[in-house]
Structure 1
Amino acid sequence: MTRTTPARPVSVEAVFPELALYRGRTTRLHPRPGRPDMHDSHVGGPMLWPEDEPWPVCREPHQRETEGYAPDEILGARTAGAWPPSRPWPGAGTPGEDGPVPFVGLAQLFRRDVPGLASGPDDADLVQLFRCPFTHGPYLERRYRLRWRRARETERAERFLTAPPEVPLLRWEHELPEPCVLHPEEVDTYPWAEDDTLPAPLIARIDAWDDAQASEHGRDAPNYQSALSIPPGWRVGGFPSWASTGPMAIDCASCATPMRLLLTAGGDEMDADSHSWVPLEDRDPSLRGKPSIRGGPSVAQPTRLRFGRDRDLHVFTCPAEPGHAPRWVLA
């Protein structure tokens, strides 16, 4: 099934004609729980991974834990609509304590499925995203990894890995992604309006318009950041949202080139201020506004993942040399 973003509550370019110069495109991925194949673009599904290629592992020291959640019990609890039981953490020397820890596969994207997906090194057209399931250092930092591939070459492998290595326990229930199929859709998008992301006079006008809308229409009034500029949830390309940190300059550590946004991964596909972005196919046509949304968690939190304290994970790559190290920003 396709997913169709509703028309915006207000035509932003009618209110601010100057924004036409800054209009961009982003591809909303619209993940929904399903049964993706290793040859599909997906979140949380099986990776296209040749059997003779080592699975990525994290070899850095990890924070010690006292309890955790078993992956099979997480999946069973989700099916039952319950919360999984916690288990005592294994002793020293087991994965997650002193030994290497397998990365968890979060998503894979083929350019043939996802409009606007940037090329990787050597024109790679398949990107796979991984996260270490445990935390690092006193600030509980996370480690991510990208694996770029040429899809056609990879699909010619003789055999593929059918069951990647798992750790016995995960730190949180939301470390395990729910397998989701994708429904890519391109939409117009506009920059975050803060600091120097747009000309200062234009940002001032946007802020004044937001205040006037709230004063006239109350809490449900549309505002630029949440309803008109950048959609929530998983998306490719477009502009980063900066709700938690404020805008940041993201430059390549190798060559100082300003980096481009490859991918945004979000825990929520909607919140109280962004429900207008929920697709038409996930709404009851007889109702209006937030009450029209159907599907519960499968629409609002389909992947079951979390990034930081309910932030967006922005993945940036270098446009001058895609082989340079990516940067990961929680915002």
Structure 2
Amino acid sequence: MKEISVIGGGSWATALVKILTENGVQVNWFLRRPDQVACIAQEGRNPDYLNHVQLDKSFVYPSTDIQHVIEKSTKILFVVPSAYLESTVDQLDPVWFENKKVMSSIKGTVGVDNVLPSVYLSERLQINSQDQAILAGPCHAEEIARNKKTYLTICSKNEALRNSLVDYFNASYIDISLKDDLLGIEYAAIYKNVIGIACGISDGLHYGDNFKAVLVANAIEELRKLLLSMHTDVDIANSSYIGDLLVTAYSTYSRNRNFGELIGRGMGVEKVKRTMDMVAEGYWATKGLYETAKHLGCKMPILTTIYRILYKHMSAQTEFKILETNIK
């Protein structure tokens, strides 16, 4: 029987567990709270996220014992918000990861050094690059929950590892792309959350679809410049790179777009953070990417605008008036 350990209990983790169990994969699932574990074990539902989704209890083994969960499988999947990855990894011993394959599906930079999640996991847990993979979109957990047509990307330097993971995540409603560009795919997955916030702010300010189309077109160009500044010359004109950006920019399911819309309507950043019941990764991603772009000398007007609104507490209306003159 195929087996995997999942670290994280949010909506995205729940959606992935749904796919895995539908494929007959035994899922050893780490969750922080005993009440979540109890509800999943007894009812096959995550009480906090996608609680309408019925999971096959015969394939789910939830636990609050992270060491036990990791030791149970040869494949480990991290699906925690980037802001919580450090505190999660602080509980772990690299010895537990000997001879393990490690996947991540995390869309934000980590720590004060703004490290990519895959790089952070590799360094802290002493994982060889040939034993790593990332899982990316474009997709929203809510549509996976409803079996809506979805496209996933499995990315690894190890071709055999990429191929071995297809059966874990394939489904009648899912198409899978295989890539080897970890850096490009991961940065695209992080940057898309920033653009989700930007599009949400434009909606909150009532800019309209014409402006948003130009905003998104410029965002795609910003992403291309960012990857070029890292010496990653790839064709980003496919769903593995900009598909996630587009769905985050336009979907009503996008928590980052919703986060931005509340700011555009005039709500303060701290109040928005308290109001939302799920983490908007773009908040932390903005700071991490801004520092990265600044270090690289890469000019990114949209990213800078969102950084100034979120972290310098500048007026969204004023900053977007300035942005109007910096996009074409």
Q: TM-score range by the shorter chain?
A: under 0.3
Structure (1/2) with the larger strand percentage: 1
- From the CA coordinates, give the structure whose radius of gyration is larger: 1
Which gives a bigger RCO, structure 1 or 2 (Cα 8 Å, sep 6+)? 1
